[in-house]
Amino acid sequence: MIAFLTGLRGRLVITFTVVAVAASALVAGIGFELAKGALIDRTTRDAVDNLTKDLRRIDFAVGALRPGEVPPSGEELNNLANSLSGPDRHALLEYRGLYYRDEAGAFGPDDVTGELRGQALRKLVSQRRIIDGELWLVLGTQVYRSGIDDVPRPTGLLVFEYVSLSEEQRTLSNLREAFAQAGAITLLIALTVALVSARHVLLPVGRLSAAAQALGRGRLDTRLPVHGKDELSELTAHFNDAAAALELSVSELRALEAMSRRFVADVSHELRTPLTAMTAVADMLSEEADRLPEQPAQAVRLVLSEVERLRELVEHLIEVSRFDAGTATLALESVDVADAISDSLEVRGWGEDVRVQAPTGVVVNVDPRRFDVIVANLVGNALKHGGPPVLVTARSTPNGLEVKVRDHGDGIPADALPHVFDRFFKAGTGRVRSQGSGLGLSIARANAHLHGGTISVRSQKPGTLFTVWLPHP
């Protein structure tokens, strides 16, 4: 018996007893919410049924008039408002821009929100609102009338009914007080049990929790002393074994990751020298390509294309290696957004292919080179894989700078959208040998994140829209 009480199982029994007490309080709370929901739902159903029945008894013409019918008079609409009102409810009508109240006149056009009116145009809507410290049920609907073909059509007559829920509030208040008294008694019992069991149950669990948090923060050498032979001691020993295994695995992964980053960086830098020579030779060949026979000229142009593709890939790999190594930094400057976008397009010869809508005089603090990379990669992607026209818009918001790049092509397949920012990802099998390296969008997003911003993508009809948001520093 003593071993049972001092072991983890005994402590768990006590803990579960506390949970049971707390559960009773939870049940009371759920019971109150269910009672509240049932009461409000019943009141709402009754109010909706009454309003529906009252509207079916409208005996004058509204909406599209038939031959021989005359539009309703103000007196008829006022009478309708009065017929819909009562001691605990008030009516407000809207017809062709004019409002008609009941005799009490408790509510007017200012009490009709745009949301309520917009929903009432489409369907019968109900809302609960607190007006002047009192809870009201607000109903709104548009009156429909059958035409000659017996098809109900909207008439433009909007009916808003305000039903007081003061009686329901009092009932719920009494119910809440009863539940609160029961909950207070239960809480006293639960606190008494919790104080007795907290030291024996919660202290070792707290140690495990603190150790797990330390492990999650990167302190992989975290270990806990093992005392006793109960279930908690066994759990602590398993935790220490798992932490040791995790420390070993993470160390190996970090070593491999460092080797991988160093390999990419070294290879990229080593490729620069031969690539520079290849570029120089390619430039000389490009000048002679037009004077060569057709087949040698095609071969020269193919070599030029592949050299340019290789140069872009090497530059992207070097940039990626900087981000992976954590050495990428920002050099913030005050930049005119319109000028920066125009310069980025002009230097690449895209000025005639892209429409820019950016207000002049908008100055933000960004890294000019990295902002240029973001714009160039998004616009280049739109020109290569999208369709004209390509539109770039920019605007300054209170929270930051927003730049949008949209093309009007076939768009990106829906299953490819979540992966467009992945490295080396190319949507569609036909783009496997495309000119792009598959790193441009990934680098653009990395540069946006370095600014503390984001890049998102969504499909348009037609085309694709990329949205860049950079916060004000």
Residues whose CB falls within 8 Å of the CB of residue 215, separated by 6 or more in sequence, listed in order = 222, 243, 246
Q: Can you give the pLDDT at residue 202?
A: 59
In a domain, 179, yes or no: no
In a domain, 217, yes or no: no
pTM score over 0.85: no
Report the Cα 136 to chain-centroid distance in Å: 33
End-to-end CA distance of the chain: 65
Is the pLDDT score of 4 beyond 50? no
Range with top average pLDDT, 30-34, 227-231, 465-469: 465-469
Q: Can you give the pLDDT at residue 457?
A: 93
Domain limit, last residue, from 172, 194, 212: 172
Domain limit, last residue, from 328, 362, 378: 328
Task: Please tell me whether residues 55 and 137 are part of one structural domain.
Answer: yes
Mean pLDDT of 104-116: 88
Q: Can you give the pLDDT at residue 430?
A: 42
Task: Please tell me whether residues 362 and 463 are part of one structural domain.
Answer: yes
Q: Can you give the pLDDT at residue 152?
A: 84
313: CATH: 1.10.287.130
Q: Can you give the pLDDT at residue 3?
A: 44
Q: How many structural domains compose the chain?
A: 3
Catalogue the long-range contacts made by 398-402 (C-beta closer than 8 Å, 24 or more residues apart). 399/469, 399/471, 399/472, 400/453, 400/469, 400/470, 400/471, 400/472, 401/337, 401/362, 401/364, 401/366, 401/468, 401/469, 401/470, 401/472, 402/467, 402/468, 402/469
433: CATH: 3.30.565.10
Task: Please tell me whether residues 27 and 148 are part of one structural domain.
Answer: yes
Domain limit, last residue, from 172, 190, 209: 172
Task: Please tell me whether residues 51 and 159 are part of one structural domain.
Answer: yes
